[in-house]
Amino acid sequence: MFGNNTTHSTGIIYTNHALQRIAQRNISREAIELTCKYGTESIDDGARKVIIDLDACSLAEENGLNLFPFYSTTIVVSMDNVLKTAYMKEIE
């Protein structure tokens, strides 16, 4: 289906395009994986949009995990678990 994809522990499929984008934006794979596991999720245009917001940070902190270094990391994942993009969202 896609060429040279990699899949990680969360089941996210990283395409070469997605890997290029996260590298250009200096977003680590750790940030992507933690966002997928612990972020606040919504559905937007038929894709899952997941963000490390204050709610996610607070909930993780209760469980001994510090997500604040990844605050505002946002990923967009298709319904078949392909990473479409990732970016640092400006949160007001």
> Which is higher by pLDDT, 89 or 3?
89
Confidence tier at 92 by pLDDT (50, 70, 90): low
Give the residue from 51, 70, 45, 76 showing the smallest Cα distance to 86: 76
**Is the pLDDT assigned to residue 3 strictly greater than 70?**
no
Give the residue from 63, 37, 66, 65 showing the smallest Cα distance to 50: 37
Tens digit of pLDDT for each residue in 56-85?
999 999 989 999 999 999 999 999 999 999
Structure confidence at residue 9 (pLDDT): 58
Tokens for 91, please give them. Answer: 């949160």
Average pLDDT over residues 4-19: 74
Q: What's the pTM value of the predicted model, to 2 decimals? A: 0.84
